[in-house]
């Protein structure tokens, strides 16, 4: 594969109607497909994060709540000390 400016040339097979629609909406087919892949990648990361946070167990949530409370109290105390 040839690398140009940190990019790689690839060959993919795309539905003919979809490719025609992309060509009608964009002057740069490669840029349109690259942007679509960036959006797809972001959606995949968001889905993984959502699954992670959805599947956390109760002890993990309780520990996180305790940590949040402790750090919040510490931050408030620190700010109050700086103000006086």
pLDDT tens-digit readout, 45-73:
999 999 988 888 888 888 888 889 889 88
Give the residue, 37 or 1, on which the prediction is more confident.
Answer: 37
**Contact partners, residue 29, CB within 8 Å, separation at least 6:** 19, 22, 23
Distances in Å between the Cα of 8 and the Cα atoms of 1, 4, 14, 37 are: 6, 6, 18, 14
Residue linked to tokens 């510490």: 74
Residue span of the structural domain in which 40 resides: 3-83
Question: What is the phi/psi pair of residue 30, to 5°?
Answer: -60, -45
Which of 31, 42, 43, 32 is CA-nearest to residue 7?
31
Overall pTM > 0.75: no
Per the structure, the count of domains in the chain is 1
């Amino acid at each position: 594969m040839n690398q140009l400016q940190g990019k790689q040339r690839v060959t993919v097979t795309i539905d003919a109607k979809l490719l025609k629609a992309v060509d009608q909406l964009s002057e740069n087919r490669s840029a349109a497909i690259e942007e679509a892949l960036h959006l797809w990648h972001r959606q995949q990361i968001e889905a993984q994060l959502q699954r992670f946070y959805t599947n956390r167990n109760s002890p993990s949530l309780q520990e996180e709540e305790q940590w949040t409370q402790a750090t919040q109290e510490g931050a408030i105390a620190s700010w109050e000390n700086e103000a006086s």
